[in-house]
Amino acid sequence: MNGKFSFALLSAAVLAFACAPRSHSNDTANSTSTTRSMRSHNSHAAALAASLNVAINDGVNFDFRVTNASDKKIEVNFPSGQTHEVIVVDSLGREVWRWSKHLMFTASLQNKVMHESDTLTYRGHWNNAPRGRYTAIATLASANFPLEQRTEFVVR
C-alpha cells in the first residue's frame, strides 16, 4: 500500500512540474529589451523597415507601419492573434498607456505574406492623455521579424 501511495504522489508531482508555466527568454510581445536584442541578432531584420508616427489631434493617434524593404517575398510569423503592441511611457520610463490593455487575442498562430514593398499598417488612439513628455514604443510581435520603433512626443 505504501508503494502505491508513493508512486501516485510521485506521478502527481511529475505531472504538476510538466504542466507548470515556464518563462521564455525570447518572449517578444512583453519585453522591449528582448525585442531590441533579438533584432540585432536577426539576419532578416533588414528585410523590414518600420516607422511610427504620432499625431496629437483629438487625442493621441499612433500610426505604426512595417514595410517589406527587401526585393523578395517574405512571410512574417506571429505566435498569436496579436500582431503588434504600442506602449507609452512617461519621461521617467513608467508605462502610462498600452494599446492592448483591454483587448483579447486568439492563441492560434498566424502568418502574413508580404511581397516586395508591401506595408502593414497598425493604428491606435489614446483618449484623454494628460499633459507631459512621452515616448511611444511600437513593436511588431513577430517570431521571425521582431521590430521596435520609438517616437518621442509632447501633449500640451
Please indicate whether residue 25 or residue 101 has the higher confidence score (pLDDT).
101
- pLDDT tens-digit map of 124-142: 999 999 999 999 999 999 9
b/e 2-18 (16+ beta carbons within 10 angstroms → b)? eeeeeeeeeeeeeeeee
For 44-94, write each residue's pLDDT tens digit: 557 999 999 999 999 999 999 999 999 999 999 999 999 999 999 999 999
Query: How far is 29 from 64, CA to CA, in rounded Å?
Result: 15
Alpha-carbon distances, residue 8 vs 2, 5, 12, 19 (angstroms): 10, 5, 6, 16
Q: Is 144:77 a contact under the CB 8 Å cutoff?
A: yes
Q: How is the chain split into domains, by residue range?
A: 28-155
Q: How is domain 28-155 classified at the CATH fold level?
A: Immunoglobulin-like (2.60.40)
Question: What value does the mean pLDDT take over residues 18-31?
Answer: 39
Instruction: Tell the residue number behind the cell numbers 508513493, with chain if given.
Output: 6
Q: pTM for this one?
A: 0.71
Distances (CA, A) of 43 to 46, 146, 150: 7, 11, 21
